Amino acid sequence: MLLLRSCLVLLLMFAPWRFAVANDDLAQQVAAIEPKVVAWRRDFHQHPELGNRETRTAGIVAEHLKGLGLEVQTGVAHTGVVGTLVGGKPGPVIALRADMDALPVTERVDLPFASKVRSTYAGQDVGVMHACGHDAHTAILMGVAEVLAARRASIPGTIKFFFQPAEEGPPPGEEGGAELMVKEGVMDKPKVEAVFGLHINSRIETGRIGYRPGGTMASRDTFRIVLTGKQSHGSKPWLGVDPIVTASQVVMALQTIVSRNVELIEGAAVVTVGRIQGGVRSNIIPEQVELEGTLRALTPETKELLRQRVRAVATQIAGAMGATAEVILPSEPSYPVTYNDPELTARMLPTLQRVAGADRVFVRPADTGSEDFSFFAQKAPGLFIFLGGRDPAIPAAQAPDHHTPDFRIDDSGLDLGVHALSQLALDYLAEPPK
């Protein structure tokens, strides 16, 4: 009997599936709080708040964390909340992150908890909606905090919970988001050794988890180009320098950067012009035209290449047309590539497979969307995963995309998010990298 007991101990210590022994117990904990998580998510969905204005949401989060006995810091990066759970045993420090902000989008989904909120953004009256799933992220992380707080005595280390404002970008003229949280020191004192986050996805079926090692979401730069010519009567273009024609040439040339300058076998890139503004009437050639757009890249090298080529294309074409170009790049806060540390990703993959099932975890293509989780992952190895939020009865091709008025997610996917983040935290702390 003693020999058998010793063999079992050795198996539990060294078997690659050893963390699974706690899995059933953890699953029961998650199932018990799932109704709470769904209720929180629906409440946040019905009461969305724009970036740097998440006061109600932050208040609910802070009270919940205080009720769990966590150390709580509020007013981080304007409205952010950081909760710290100190385990009963010494060990490393990790962070788990959720974002809280909504978007200036008017909801048209027929739900009993649909948003009717209106607010002001950039001087305009707008509808406000959780059109990207941040309500789900916040509710999930509140659930994770409750699950892990109940295990405090057995946790070997410290867990910091980041509830972040303004992931979608702060209002014009303000700082915010993960970049400001990092500036204010949330990754230090105590120093975070690994950071985990997730994003629910309206096109991935519930019950599934997507991941990708390396560059998983693109960097983001916003550019503004001011083209200045010489104003003249529309009937006599030879007396002026036409910035509208110049802008047309610039827009078309910008589209060749990706197809002719980027080594696409190494990853995708995007150059998009989203706004052109100039002129007041049909028979006046204006003096100025303004272009605004976005650049996306999956490596820092491609990001720099795009910046260089946009500047060169705009200034040289303008010069050839007799105009001038002022290129402001970046014209808004810039996001780095969201990079999943390959070693950390490989290390935690078995955890994801145990929680969701090996056949429900898959490598997804890189995404040209951007995420400011990237700022946290610059300070410590990071892993950012994608959680299924699509009702299986809805074909993926028919599922409304993020940032649209019809965006919707299925609440039945939230428990997997709680389970996955909780198990990632427990497994990492139980056996951190040497």
Predicted confidence (pLDDT) per residue in 189-201, tens digit: 999 999 999 999 9
Pair 347, 433: CB distance under 8 Å = yes
Say if residue 260 is in the same domain as residue 388. no
In a domain? residue 101: yes
Do 252 and 316 lie in one domain? The reply is yes
Is 3 a member of any domain?
no
Q: Show the beta-strand stretches assigned E in 341-416.
A: 361-363, 382-390
Report the predicted TM-score, pTM, of the whole model to 2 decimal places.
0.91
Domain boundary among 272, 306, 328: 328
- Asked whether residue 417 is assigned to any structural domain, the reply reads yes
pLDDT, position 86 = 98
Nearest to 327 by CA among 402, 388, 404, 273: 273
Examine the domain organization and report whether 129 and 191 are in the same domain.
Answer: yes
Quote the pLDDT of residue 7: 42
CATH number at 259 reads: 3.30.70.360
**Helix 23-46 / helix 134-149 crossing angle, nearest 10 deg:** 140
* Whole-angstrom distance, CA of residue 273 vs CA of residue 361: 35
Residues 235 and 213 in one domain: no
Claim to verify: residue 31 and residue 179 sit in the same structural domain: yes
Q: Is the dihedral of CA 401, 405, 174, 328 positive or negative?
A: positive
pLDDT tens-digit profile of 250-266?
A: 999 999 999 999 998 87
Q: Is there a domain that residue 409 lies in?
A: yes
Does any domain span residue 382?
yes
Cβ neighbours of 406 (radius 10 Å): 14
Q: E strand or H helix at 268, and its extent?
A: none
Distance CA 51, CA 74 (A): 15
Question: Model confidence at 122, in pLDDT bands (50, 70, 90)?
Answer: confident
Q: Is residue 9 part of a domain?
A: no
pLDDT at 17 over 80: no
Of the chain, the percentage scoring pLDDT greater than 70 comes to 95
The pLDDT confidence band at residue 336, using thresholds 50, 70 and 90, is: very high
Q: Are strands 361-363 and 324-328 parallel, antiparallel or unpaired?
A: unpaired
Tell me the pLDDT of the chain averaged across its residues. 94
CATH number of the domain within which 186 lies? 3.40.630.10
Does residue 167 sit within a domain?
yes
Q: What is the pLDDT of residues 123-153, one digit of tens each?
A: 999 999 999 999 999 999 999 999 999 999 9
pLDDT of residue 19: 38
Q: Which of 328, 359, 376 is the last residue of a domain?
A: 328
Q: How many domains does the chain have?
A: 2
Determine the pLDDT at residue 12: 37
Task: Kindly state the average pLDDT of the residues 353-368.
Answer: 97
Per-residue pLDDT band for 14 (boundaries 50, 70, 90) equals very low
Q: Do residues 150 and 182 both lie within one domain?
A: yes
What does the pLDDT read at residue 16? 37
The whole-number pLDDT of residue 434 equals 78
> Are residue 143 and residue 225 in the same domain, yes or no?
no
Residues 247 and 169 occupy one common structural domain: no
Q: In this structure, are strands 89-99 and 194-205 parallel, antiparallel, or unpaired?
A: parallel
My answer on whether 159 and 187 are in the same domain is yes
Mean pLDDT along residues 370-375: 97
pLDDT on residue 23: 57
Domain boundaries, position 171:
16-217+337-430
Does residue 392 share a domain with residue 359? yes
Percent of the chain with pLDDT over 90: 91
Per-residue model confidence (pLDDT) at position 116: 98
Q: Is residue 5 in a domain?
A: no
What confidence score (pLDDT) does residue 267 get? 84
Question: Alpha-carbon dihedral of residues 215, 218, 219, 222, nearest 10 degrees?
Answer: 170
DSSP per residue, 142-159: HHHHHHHHTTGGG-EEEE
Domain closes at, from 272, 293, 328: 328
Please check the confidence at residue 374 and state whether its pLDDT lies above 90. yes
Written as six digits, the tokens of 157 are 């280390």
Over residues 65-102, the pLDDT tens digits come to 999 999 999 999 999 999 999 999 999 999 999 999 99
Owner of token pair 């989060």: 61
Is residue 351 scored above 60 in pLDDT?
A: yes
Indicate if 396 and 258 belong to the same structural domain. Answer: no
**Amino acid residing at 431:** E
pLDDT-derived band at 433 (thresholds 50, 70, 90) equals confident
In a shared domain, residues 168 and 115: yes
Average pLDDT over residues 368-391: 97
- Whole-angstrom Cα distance, residue 324 to residue 250? 12
Cis ω for the linkage preceding 333 (within 30 of 0): no
Residue with tokens 């905090």: 145
Nearest to 131 by CA among 338, 404, 397, 316: 404
HSE (side-chain half, CA atoms, 13 Å) at 357 = 6
Q: Residue 172: pLDDT band by 50, 70, 90 thresholds? A: confident
